[in-house]
Amino acid sequence: MFAKFKPGQPSDTNPITQYYEIGRQIGSAGPELVWKIYEAVRKSDKREAAVFCFEKRCAEKLHKPKRRETITEILRFSVRQLDRFKHPKMLTLYHPIEESR
C-alpha cells in the first residue's frame, strides 16, 4: 500500500505506528510549520486518515528555548481544543496526543 518509512517519516519508535500505516508526507502546518502531515491508513479498520506528527527534534531548530516551549504548549492546547469540539466541517480527532522521548 505505502512504501513504509521513507526518509522523513516517523520512526518505528513513534507510538503512532502501532495504530497507523504511515505513507508519504503530504504537508506541513502550524506555527513554524512544525506539524508534519502524512497520509495514513488506520490498521484496525483500514480507514484512510491523515497523521499529524510533531517531531521534538524539529523544535530544537527553533532559536530560543522559550520559543520552543511556547510552540509546544500551543500545539498541545490546539489538539485539546480540537478534541473538545465536534462538527461535520472540522477535523475529527481519532487518536489523542501520545508523547515519546
Residues 6+ apart with CB under 8 A from 98: 15, 16
pLDDT at residue 45 in the model = 95
- 8 A C-beta contact, residue 8 and residue 38: no
pLDDT tens column, 4-25: 444 456 666 778 889 999 999 9
* pLDDT score of 46: 96
Q: Is residue 101 part of a domain?
A: no
Percentage of residues in the chain having pLDDT higher than 90: 26
Domain range enclosing 31: 15-84
Confidence (pLDDT) at 50: 93
Average the pLDDT over 57-84 and give the result: 80
**Secondary structure letter of residue 26 according to DSSP:** E
Provide the number of structural domains found in the chain. 1
Does residue 9 form part of some domain? Answer: no
Q: What's residue 55's pLDDT?
A: 74
Q: Is 31 among the domain residues?
A: yes
- Mean pLDDT, residues 47-71: 80
pTM: predicted TM-score of the whole model, two decimal places = 0.73
46 located within any domain: yes
> How far is 39 from 41, CA to CA, in rounded Å?
7
